[in-house]
Amino acid sequence: MADYRKMWEDLGMDVETHDMLCEVLPQAFGDVYLSQDDRPEGMDYYNMVVAEIHGIRPAELIEAQKEGKKVFGTFCVYVPDEIVFAAGAIATGLCGGSQFRVPGGEKVLPTNTCPLIKASVGARLDRTCPFFRIADMYIGETTCDGKKKAWEILAADVPMHVMDLPQMKRVKDVNAWAEEIVEFKRVVEEFTGNEVSAESLADAIRLINGKRRALARLYEFRKNENVPISGRDVLLISQIAFYDDPERFTQMTNQLCDELKKRVAGGVSVCRKGSKRIMLTGTPMAIPNWKLHQIIETSGGIVVCEETCTGTRYFENLVEENETTVADQINALAERYMNINCACFTPNLGRVDDILRLAKEYNVDGIIDVNLKFCNLYDTEGYLVEKAMREAGIPVLGLETDYTDSDAQQLRTRVSAFIEMLNN
């Protein structure tokens, strides 16, 4: 890896603590990823991105800042990146998926906060993540209670704008979200000094739709009987999608898809015949949270779909590309984003419909409904999801976990028993 110490120091990072993180990541990555046989060659790009995750992209963002561009950090798939790119700025994901940063979050947050929030706050306050240092402004949203309060703590440290996400899906709620996007546009324009025009917004809509199309194409290959790419690899790609330059990401993912097409034609499969096809549903898995995929795929299963925000909720549904005025484009954005089915909505029956549809499309043998510890929203909704799956005759296992390894053995036992049950 190139030496980025000077860059990290200039960002005001705690380089010594960060060194400790850099020491453990390659080992974890090697165990989960490099141990796999017969990976597509196109994964080399994503391996390289992870190997230099705190180097290459942060350096690009800093270069962009030197040219006068602003960087916006986001935490949720409801925030429309299109507005940011249309203003000549850059959006990057900021969610925390590492246990390393959880204790930093616990210094200021209640212990019974979900690890994703604790890791995110810890990453900022402990100064161990370049992305959290680089972002000029954070964009929060009113999804769950833990996040809402976390924004107030982060706002004392960094400029923050919070988008008020409605929690129902009536016409007036979609209209309210469109108004929030108008307000977001105003904030972004003011902060960047650049106007969002119908032309620049149309370009940005096409740019982000391109990323969605590439991910949708990637997922299509997992519907085959012979699965040409592991769930672990697809998870990694989805996680990188939040950070990478969207144009390059789209290009590299489409290139990988070309390779997968050949693999499918050649009957290549990354798993043994008879491996059980598993869909994961529930809370997102931010990088480097690969725990459950690793357990499932080393216990006789293959993950063929994720109904999560690091899965289908991120890329399904495109924004209409043919609108010609900013007002109509914003309405199109509101429509598309309000189609995402997060558990923060009530009722959220669309999510159950999504899971039933995906179970069919990906021909799954069983569903694992996963909840990040202390996420009350998904935990509570899990009751309705699991009930609906049982009624539809789809085997389902509900699991709760966090970022530690302390439950890995117990999870493996439960996952193995579930897959064994699917075999009988």
- The CA distance from 46 to 312, in Å, is 19
User: Contact between 138 and ligand BJ8 (CB under 6 A)?
Assistant: no
User: Contact between 378 and ligand BJ8 (CB under 6 A)?
Assistant: yes
Distance of CA 332 to the CA centre of its chain: 22
Shortest Cβ 141–ligand BJ8 spacing (Å): 7
**Residues in 249-288 that interact with ligand BJ8 by CB under 6 A:** 283-284
Work out which of 61, 84, 87, 117 binds ligand BJ8, going by CB under 6 A. 117
User: Contact between 382 and ligand BJ8 (CB under 6 A)?
Assistant: no
In order of 26, 211, 282, 356, 405, the CA distances from 308 in angstroms are 26, 17, 5, 14, 21
Work out which of 303, 367, 372, 389 binds ligand BJ8, going by CB under 6 A. 372
From 73-81, 175-183, 323-331, 391-399, give the range in contact with ligand BJ8 by CB under 6 A: 73-81
Please say which residue, 354 or 365, places its beta carbon nearer to ligand BJ8.
354
Give the residue ranges of DSSP H helices in 167-245. Answer: 171-192, 198-220, 231-241
In order of 68, 82, 248, 259, the CA distances from 208 in angstroms are 22, 7, 12, 23
Work out which of 32, 89, 116, 285 binds ligand BJ8, going by CB under 6 A. 116
Work out which of 45, 78, 243, 315 binds ligand BJ8, going by CB under 6 A. 78
User: Contact between 399 and ligand BJ8 (CB under 6 A)?
Assistant: no
User: Contact between 96 and ligand BJ8 (CB under 6 A)?
Assistant: no
User: Contact between 139 and ligand BJ8 (CB under 6 A)?
Assistant: no
Q: Which secondary structure element, helix H or strand E, spans residue 401, and what is its range?
A: strand 396-401
Shortest Cβ 224–ligand BJ8 spacing (Å): 28
Q: What is the per-residue binding string for ligand BJ8 in 287-326, x denoting contact by CB under 6 A?
A: ----------------------x-----------------
Kind of pairing, strands 366-372 and 301-307?
A: unpaired
In order of 110, 300, 373, the CA distances from 417 in angstroms are 34, 10, 22
Question: Which neighbouring-strand residues pair with 422?
Answer: none
Residue closest to 152 by CA, chosen among 188, 114, 109, 192: 109
Distance of CA 127 to the CA centre of its chain: 22
Shortest Cβ 74–ligand BJ8 spacing (Å): 9
From 1-9, 75-83, 195-203, 318-326, give the range in contact with ligand BJ8 by CB under 6 A: 75-83
User: Contact between 338 and ligand BJ8 (CB under 6 A)?
Assistant: no
From 64-72, 228-236, 261-269, 375-383, give the range in contact with ligand BJ8 by CB under 6 A: 375-383
DSSP state of 194: -
Would you say 90 and 62 are in contact if contact means Cβ atoms under 8 Å apart? no
- The CA distance from 121 to 108, in Å, is 9
Would you say 139 and 75 are in contact if contact means Cβ atoms under 8 Å apart? yes
Work out which of 128, 143, 200, 230 binds ligand BJ8, going by CB under 6 A. 143
Q: What is the per-residue binding string for ligand BJ8 in 147-176, x denoting contact by CB under 6 A?
A: x-----------------------------
Shortest Cβ 160–ligand BJ8 spacing (Å): 16
Other CB atoms within 10 A of residue 270 CB? 21
Interface ranges with ligand BJ8 (CB under 6 A): 76-78, 114, 116-117, 143-144, 146-147, 283-284, 309, 340, 342, 344, 372, 375, 377-378
